[in-house]
Chains A and B, each alone.
Chain A
C-alpha cells in the first residue's frame, strides 16, 4: 500500500489512529494526550473526531447515551450510501441501536451469552485449540497470531451461528475488510455485501429447511409484541455476531500470547498458582483491550471544556481508559492478581459487549491450552511482530519458537 498520509504535526490536534506508529504502539500516544493539558484530543482527519483518553471521561461518555448515540459506531464515518437501498436498514443491533429499541434488541440476544449459556462452548473450544496446536507442535515454531489465535473465535462463532466452518477464510476476510482495513471504502462495501448476501441465503435456507436448536432459526422465529422480528434485525444481529465476535477476540488472544511469550515469570506463576487465572484474564483484558468504538453526538454539548457539535464523532478509546494512572496503579504493568480492576475492555453502560462472557472463555481456554501443551516459548524476533489497529488492536503475525 502506498502511504500518502501526511505526517502528524501535533497529536493533540491532528492524531491519526491509522498511522503505522500509532497502530504499533497506541499507548504512548494515549499517554501523551492523557497527561497533556488537553486530555481530549481532536483531529480533522477522517471527517473529524474527538479522542478522550482518561478513564472517567470515557466512562462518562459511555453512560450518556442520549447525547453520545450509537447511530454510527465505527471509528470512521459509515460507507457512503450504506443506509440506502434494499438492505440499507441492516445495521448491527444492539451495538448500533439507541434506546428505546436498544432494550429489546439487546434483551433478545443476552441469554445466548450469559455465563451459564456460554459454558457449553468450553470443551469444543479446548478441542479446537488442541487441534490447532497439533498442527505446529512438532515444528518448534508457530505464528501464534496467524496459526493459532486467528482460527479460534471465527470457528466458535460459526459454530454458535450454525454456519459452515469450511467458510472460515471467507468470514475472516470479510471481517478484516469490515474492521481492519477500513480506510479502504471499496473493501468495506465488498465485505458488507458479502455478509448480507451470505446471511440472507442462510435465512432462506432455514425457511425451507427448519432446524432445531439453531441460533438463526430461533432468532427468525422470535416475536416482539406479537410480531416476528423484522428481517433487517435478523440480518443485523448475524452481521454483528460475525463482525464483532471474530477480529476482537482474535486480537485479545494474540496480544495475550505475545505477552506470555515475553514473560516466563507469568507463565510460571500461572502454572504454579492456577487459582490466579480468573484475575489474570481480567488483567490481561485490561492491558490489552483490543477495541475502540465510537459515538456520535445527537446535539451540541460542551464536554470537559470541548465544544462538541451535533454529528461529531467521539472515539471510545477503552484501551486508553484502561491505562489511566488515575484509575489503575502502575497501569502499564501486568499484575496477575491486581486487586482493584474496574477495567472497561468490554465497554461501560448499556452497550457493554454482549459477547464478553464468550470472549473471556475463549481467551482463557486458548491461553490455558497453549501453556499446558507448550509451557516454554519465546518470540523469534520482537521486531518482526505485525499489528492491526485503529478499530481493533492486536498482532497479526507473531512468530514464537519452543
Chain B
C-alpha cells in the first residue's frame, strides 16, 4: 500500500494526521504531507485507511 495527498484538494483539515500520525504530517501552512515515501508497513495500513475515511476533501489517495 502507498499513500499520497492531492495537494490541490487538501485544505489542511489535518484529519489524516489525527487518524494516522505515523503516516501523515503537516507542512508550514498546515497542509498534509506524507511521512512514509514507500510502502506503508502492514501495521499502519488500517490507520492509513482510516485517514482516508476521515478526509473531508477526499484528498487522500491510497494505491494497493
Contact = CB atoms under 8 A, between A and B. Distances in A.
A362 interface: no
A340 B56 CA distance: 10
B53 A111 contact: no
Contacts of B53: 339-342
Interface string A251-295: 000000000000000000000000000110010000000000000
A148 interface: no
A200 interface: no
Contact of A348 (B18, B26, B54, B56): B56
A277 to B, nearest CB: 10
Contacts of A339: 50, 53
Interface in B10-63: 11-15, 17-19, 26-30, 50, 53-58
Q: Which interface class (under 10, 10 to 19, 20 to 34, 35 or more) fits B?
A: 20 to 34
Contacts of A349: 11, 57
Contacts of A207: none
A209 B62 CA distance: 52
B56 A342 contact: yes
A352 B10 CA distance: 10
Tell me what chain B mostly uses at the interface: helix, strand, loop, or mixed.
loop
A342 B55 contact: yes
Contacts of B29: 107, 110-111, 114
Contacts, number: 58
B44 to A, nearest CB: 15
A47 B27 CA distance: 42
Q: Which interface class (under 10, 10 to 19, 20 to 34, 35 or more) fits A?
A: 20 to 34
Contacts of B56: 59, 342-344, 348
Contact of A110 (B13, B19, B30): B30
Contacts of A110: 12, 28-30
A59 B59 CA distance: 14
A356 B26 contact: no
- Most central of B18, B50, B55 by chain A CB within 10 Å: B18
B15 A282 contact: yes
Given A111-B29, A115-B26, A116-B26, A341 B54 contact: yes
A82 B56 CA distance: 34
- Most central of B26, B56, B57 by chain A CB within 10 Å: B56
Interface of A: 59, 107, 110-111, 113-116, 278-279, 282, 339-344, 346, 348-350, 352, 356-357
Interface of B: 11-15, 17-19, 26-30, 50, 53-58
